[in-house]
Structure 1
Amino acid sequence: MHFVTERTWSTAWSSIGSKSRQHSEATCTYLQVLPRGGPPMPSRMPTRQTIAFGLELARLREDAGLSRLELAKRIPVTRSYIGQVENGTTRCRREFAGQLDKAIDSGTAMVDAWDDLLKSSRYPPWFADYPLAEGTASLLRAYETMFVYGLFQTEAYIRALPLDDAAVEGRLRRQAVLERENPPMLSIVLAENVLWTRVGSTVVMREQCEHLLAMSERENITLQIAPTAYYRGLEGPFNLATQPNGDELLHMPAARGGITTGDREDILHMVGAFSALQAHALSVDDSREFLRKAVVRWT
């Protein structure tokens, strides 16, 4: 997964809510000149994803010193269509994102943004907002009770899970946040049974435990193992992404779908429960020793 700069997506994330409320209900005009690669998708009310994509386009266009009209002439499309994309009122095609990259000399930035934000098959609807928040976060916290934390899963482990190709691709792309120039801080707790739940072969499990051990050595990662027990306030796994500006998004998986919310009360409850969990989990050093034993167990 390639995420563009932390500044860009953080700005996009914090701007999305206000832009949605400020969106005009004026009727969008039809295009006079269609982009190469097929007609555009119909204009519509903006979503978080289309607004974030549009903000990224506007930033890259301005960095290139181009007006909307100048960019439109390079493709060519009408200036109004560029405006619709930047305002989030239309979902352009992936081919058009490629044309934008060529026009503003941005490598694959817009194609990657399209894949991250607009490719509808990558994430289920109830999860769609979370990868965006995860990719721009300054702090990630998670508790996993059945499977290894997604960003720490090896490719072999992922492919051993019952996932289709789009889901596998999406999970691998999400892991690029760990290689960012300024990666987020991560505080992750794995339930003990995660390490004993076989996914794939014994070789897959050994390599996965070795990878977890390596991840635990990174300065920005705190990885703890929680002994099997009841932990008050936690009814299951969760993921929490905190942005540089303090905004937070909570995702709680469930057997059938899940919940993604920014509700402050829910988040405060989960933060408190997570702090108590960390206090009862093994220390970082003891967790590493536990992981070493797991490596031996799967050898």
Structure 2
Amino acid sequence: MQNRIKPEFLSFGAEVRRLRKAAGLNQQRLADLVNVTRSYITQIEAGRTRCRRDMALRLDRALKAGTTLVEAWDELLESIKSDKYPKHFASYPKAEQSAIMVRAYEERLVPGLLQKEAYARVLLRDEDAVENRMRRQEILYRNPPPVVSIIMDETVLYREVGGPEVMKEQLEYLYELSLSGKVQLQVAPIRYIRNVWGSFHVATRPDHKQVAYAIKAWGGETTTDPDEIAVANETFVILQSEALNVRETRLLIRKVIDERWT
């Protein structure tokens, strides 16, 4: 079913869900506010229907979201007419929300998708940023969940963020996630690996097109350029070949917890 849903609809639905949760509303309460059934809100959020423009306006009013959803609706319609992706879909976090596969390499920190709240609070400056980061992790519990493959540099396990207690909780969580099978987690040993120059993420959407995000000194850069995506994919394959396998990674995480953070 999900493979037949347009990625633009999934992106729009993810934005409705994000705004609804930020407003502290459940689906039934939002449905009551805009005078529709709960099942209709469920269909919109799941990307199974394209609501009318006036519904996007009503949702904006109910969620006190300004013109966020009506602008997204206009871009969605234009993208369907022109067979182009809407601008908001080029945002990596939004692509991630509707992705069927997420891959990432992190050389300094635990990826945001896997961070515990205490770890995230050390890195982020305000409450909204923390809440948004925690909300991203809902995709791990989606049905069906995306395939998530994460490679971290070994130094991430030793780099102290927030103190020993925070690190112990964070690494225990990584260990549990690895056991659960929700994430294929690998560690790249501390050594030079060809073509690896920094952290990056790649989200594969239901139509199998991809969005990549590279972390740079002055922020991040999102791309959908096929040549740049190809470099990211090739680099990830190289990293997988050099990294410890999932079982070895799990053993290393347990060792670091016991020897350094306990």
Is TM > 0.5 for Structure 1 vs Structure 2? yes
Counterparts in 2 of 1:276 and 1:60: CA distance versus 1, 3 Å: closer
Q: CA deviation at 1:221?
A: 2.0
1:126–1:258 CA contact under 8 A, matched in 2: no
Counterparts in 2 of 1:278 and 1:12: CA distance versus 1, 3 Å: same
Q: Give the 5 Å matches for 1:1-299.
A: 10-12=7-9, 82=54, 85=56, 96-98=61-63, 129-296=91-258, 297-299=260-262
Instruction: For 1:256 and 1:201, locate their aligned partners in 2 and report how far apart those are by CA, in whole Å.
Output: 26
2:103–2:149 CA contact under 8 A, matched in 1: yes
Per-residue deviation, residues 150-185 of structure 1 (Å, max 9, x unmatched): 111001110121432221111111110111011101
Instruction: For 1:255 and 1:9, locate their aligned partners in 2 and report how far apart those are by CA, in whole Å.
Output: 34
Per-residue deviation, residues 39-94 of structure 1 (Å, max 9, x unmatched): xxxxxxxxxxxxxxxx86996576xxxxx5xxxxxxxxxxxx618x4xxxxxx597
Instruction: For 2:185 and 2:89, locate their aligned partners in 1 and report how far apart those are by CA, in whole Å.
Output: 24
Secondary structure in 1 matching 2:134: helix
Instruction: For 2:111 and 2:223, locate their aligned partners in 1 and report how far apart those are by CA, in whole Å.
Output: 19
Q: CA deviation at 1:127?
A: 10
Secondary structure in 2 matching 1:241: strand
Q: CA RMSD in A?
A: 3.4
1:143–1:188 CA contact under 8 A, matched in 2: yes
Q: CA deviation at 1:256?
A: 1.1
1:127–1:260 CA contact under 8 A, matched in 2: no
Unaligned runs of 5+ in 2: 13-43, 74-86
Counterparts in 2 of 1:214 and 1:57: CA distance versus 1, 3 Å: closer
Q: CA deviation at 1:206?
A: 0.3
Q: CA deviation at 1:243?
A: 1.1
Instruction: For 2:210 and 2:139, locate their aligned partners in 1 and report how far apart those are by CA, in whole Å.
Output: 17
Unaligned runs of 5+ in 1: 16-54, 63-67, 69-80, 86-91, 100-109, 119-124
Counterparts in 2 of 1:170 and 1:293: CA distance versus 1, 3 Å: same
Instruction: For 1:262 and 1:127, locate their aligned partners in 2 and report how far apart those are by CA, in whole Å.
Output: 10
TM-score (norm 2): 0.71
Amino acid at match of 2:261: W
Which structure dedicates a bigger proportion of its chain to helix? 2
Identity of counterpart residues, as a percentage?
39
1:9–1:56 CA contact under 8 A, matched in 2: no
Amino acid at match of 2:229: I
Counterparts in 2 of 1:162 and 1:14: CA distance versus 1, 3 Å: closer
Counterparts in 2 of 1:128 and 1:162: CA distance versus 1, 3 Å: farther
Instruction: For 1:95 and 1:246, locate their aligned partners in 2 and report how far apart those are by CA, in whole Å.
Output: 30
Secondary structure in 2 matching 1:217: helix
Q: Which has the larger radius of gyration?
A: 1
2:102–2:147 CA contact under 8 A, matched in 1: yes
Amino acid at match of 2:227: E
Counterparts in 2 of 1:173 and 1:162: CA distance versus 1, 3 Å: closer
**Equivalence for 2:22:** none
